[in-house]
Amino acid sequence: MKRAFRVGLFALLALALTALALWCQPNDMPEVLESFRRKPILYVLNALPVAFLLLGTGLLLRNLFFGAAATNAIVGALSIANRVKIEVRDEPVFPRDLALWKEVGDALGGYHLKLPAVEITAVVCVTLVLLALGVATMPRRRRKRKRRRYDNLLYAGVSFALFYALLVTVYASDDLYNGLEASSPYRLSVVFNENGFPYNFCHQFTKYQVDRPKGYDRARAKAWDEAAPDAADTPRPVNVVLVMNEAFSDITDAPAFGFTPDNDPLSNLHAIQSDAHALSLRLVVPGFAGGTANTEFDVFTGMRTNALGAGTTSAMRTVNRNLDSLFRVFAADGYKTMFYHPGNAWFYNRENVYRWFGAGETRFIEAMPDPEYRGRWVADNYLAGLIEDAFSEAMRQNLPLFHASTTIQNHMGYPYSKYGDGYEYPPVPLNVEVSPEARETLEVYVEGLRDADKMLGRLRDFFAARTEPVLLVYYGDHLPYLGDEAYSAITNPDDVFFNYETPCVLWANDAAASLLDWGAAQLPDNGRLSASFLGALILDLTGRGHADAWAAFLNGLRRRVPVVQNQFCMLADGTVTDADGAFSGDILKWRQWSYYKLTQKDLRGK
């Protein structure tokens, strides 16, 4: 009977503490309960972490109420922190945040926070009550029984071991996580609210991890980072505008297509590629048919998404501190720095990440006036107008401009309904036979490609008419998702980089052409370059190739190994070889240095 009472009390405490943690979430408790009613497994998934923590701490402290007090203090503090972070940044608390107490202190000083007084009071009061109950239930005379203490330690260890096993199996399961669904599955604050903080916090333990590289030494990496550049720079006063266009590619140049100069969907790209004031690249990006933000990360930081960790799928989700980036380099020279994206600010956590990148101003769809749409997504032409307005305003302010944008119009999918019922798509001439489904996908995608090319032409014409020097960089984030059938008609299975290549042009107007250091480019004959090296190339062209030791290292490496992609790399002469070959030491140094910059370098207040 006594044992049954203890089990019942344990279960009651675990459920009560779980309920309190859920009550601390930003959304109302009735909404939480409704979500749980539709997905009953959420009760178990959210209660188990609390139960295991309660069991382990209760055994360690040899008192169930003391264990409950400790558990409530831990879970309650995390739940309240999660609520505050979501309300301030629209981003939940992740396990990696536990290592950022200094940054948290800086953040608390930088925000006017409205702390949830009722929830804090409730957590504190419940903790105190549990402590009081623990004191009241302590035996008046405790016998010294070493064996009992050792047994408690053993059982507590077993409890924590079982919980760890659950973390790396059940809670790490993406199939389970995706199967639970949410009204906005890519907005993590919504997922945390609807499916419960305890479960989602545990799920994130195995996600977005940055692996410590082999042979890493913090002091050595810090010395690399703080070393003086190996040469002096002469910065060129050129405005820089980067546009990364969603799913932009030149797959229509493949032999499978029958386009002619009269119906070329990429007429502007092809014209610019042959311009004397332009460089044409084959940008090798980190992902195939997805991963837009990973390409952003690689370009702006010079790090490689694919080298961060074995299980990392979103580089942006690894960012939680101020980082060195192109924005900071140009800001240090007095540039106005901006980032635009006509999507939601919370997607890929861009609203926070670009602040950590040092962008002086960011603008997302929530702050864009009267957006124009092509189907579901904001039109490329509309974003081009915003870029022109931003440039004109910076020139009126007599400020040099570093502006970056990521478009969204040609985002998948590509059904005939993409641009509305009854929309007439120009036919796509093909030299191969494909199914009606594949033809539909290609016709819709190519229509978006035409608009992307028109955006490029519009920006070129706008900047060509300006007297201020401008370098325009226009490139794709990844190839589109077209399905296996379409790619079987155009792919080259013998080319390990084919599925990762997008076109990239760096074009200068007349005012900038004579200012840029074209000789610094030193590109391979095939034009291939890893996205992680694009930022370094831009710095080289604008006289900032040795802005710091990091930029100098990247520019030196890209001249010797222009492409590093997964286990392959391409040397300057075009030879494709294994990444563990002659330059493996430099590639390892790159990864070690990246680890330091991403996880340990202190840029607070910068």
SS3 per residue for 449-511: HHHHHHHHHHHHHHHHCCCCCEEEEEEECCCCCCCHHHHHHHCCCCCCCHHHEEEEEEEECHH
Instruction: Report pLDDT for 45.
Output: 94
Cβ contact 329:235 at 8 Å:
no
Please list the alpha-helical segments (H only) found in 111-172: 117-136, 146-167
pLDDT at 112 over 70: no
Instruction: Report pLDDT for 102.
Output: 47
Instruction: Report pLDDT for 115.
Output: 83
Backbone angles phi, psi at 355, to 5 degrees: -65, -40
Instruction: Report pLDDT for 149.
Output: 66
Of the candidates 59, 52, 320, the one whose C-alpha atom is nearest the C-alpha of residue 198 is 52
pLDDT at 335 over 90: yes
Q: Scan for tokens 């203090």, then name that residue.
A: 73
Cβ contact 325:335 at 8 Å:
no
Structure tokens that stand for 468 in this block: 């201020």
Instruction: Report pLDDT for 2.
Output: 74
pLDDT at 111 over 60: no
Of the candidates 338, 59, 49, the one whose C-alpha atom is nearest the C-alpha of residue 200 is 49
The residues with which 242 forms a beta bridge, in sequence order, are 404, 473
State in words which class domain 235-305+337-586 has. alpha beta
**Is it true that the peptide bond before 360 is cis, omega within 30 degrees of 0?**
no
Cβ contact 22:200 at 8 Å:
no
Summarised one tens digit per residue, pLDDT across range 537-584 is: 999 999 999 999 999 999 999 999 999 998 899 999 999 998 887 789
Of the candidates 477, 45, 44, the one whose C-alpha atom is nearest the C-alpha of residue 298 is 477
Summarised one tens digit per residue, pLDDT across range 475-493 is: 999 999 898 888 888 877 7
What is the tally of helices (H) and strands (E) in the chain? 22, 13
**Residue 430, C-beta contacts closer than 8 angstroms, at least 6 positions apart:** 256, 257, 258, 439, 442, 489
Instruction: Report pLDDT for 106.
Output: 45
pLDDT at 252 over 50: yes
Chain centroid to CA 391: 26
Q: How many Å apart are CA 296 and CA 122, to the nearest integer?
A: 43
Q: Which conformational region is residue 495 in: left (phi greater than 0), alpha (psi within -120 to 50 degrees), or beta?
A: beta
| Residues of each domain in the chain carrying CATH 3.40.720.10 | 235-305+337-586
Q: How many Å apart are CA 590 and CA 444, to the nearest integer?
A: 40
pLDDT at 383 over 70: yes
Tell me the HSE value of 487 on the side-chain side, using a 13 A CA sphere: 14
Q: How many Å apart are CA 65 and CA 71, to the nearest integer?
A: 10
Chain centroid to CA 106: 23
Summarised one tens digit per residue, pLDDT across range 424-481 is: 999 999 999 999 999 999 999 999 999 999 999 999 999 999 999 999 999 999 999 8
Burial degree of 297 (CB within 10 A; 0-12, 13-18, 19+): buried
Q: How many Å apart are CA 471 and CA 473, to the nearest integer?
A: 7
> Span 263-284, mean pLDDT?
97
Instruction: Report pLDDT for 86.
Output: 83
Of the candidates 138, 82, 537, the one whose C-alpha atom is nearest the C-alpha of residue 299 is 537
- For residue 180, give the 3-state DSSP assignment: helix
Q: How many Å apart are CA 487 and CA 227, to the nearest integer?
A: 46
Cβ contact 10:55 at 8 Å:
yes
Summarised one tens digit per residue, pLDDT across range 146-189 is: 556 677 788 888 888 998 999 989 998 989 998 998 888 877 88
**Residue 55, C-beta contacts closer than 8 angstroms, at least 6 positions apart:** 10, 67, 156, 159
Cα-based angle 210, 215, 217 (whole degrees, multiple of 5): 80
Structure tokens that stand for 508 in this block: 């200068």
**Is it true that the peptide bond before 413 is cis, omega within 30 degrees of 0?**
yes
pLDDT at 103 over 50: no
Instruction: Report pLDDT for 487.
Output: 85
Of the candidates 520, 559, 536, 512, the one whose C-alpha atom is nearest the C-alpha of residue 275 is 512
pLDDT > 90: percent of the chain: 70
**Residue 509, C-beta contacts closer than 8 angstroms, at least 6 positions apart:** 277, 463, 464, 466, 469, 470, 472
Of the candidates 361, 356, 363, 383, the one whose C-alpha atom is nearest the C-alpha of residue 372 is 383
Q: How many Å apart are CA 208 and CA 578, to the nearest integer?
A: 26
Q: How many Å apart are CA 595 and CA 601, to the nearest integer?
A: 9
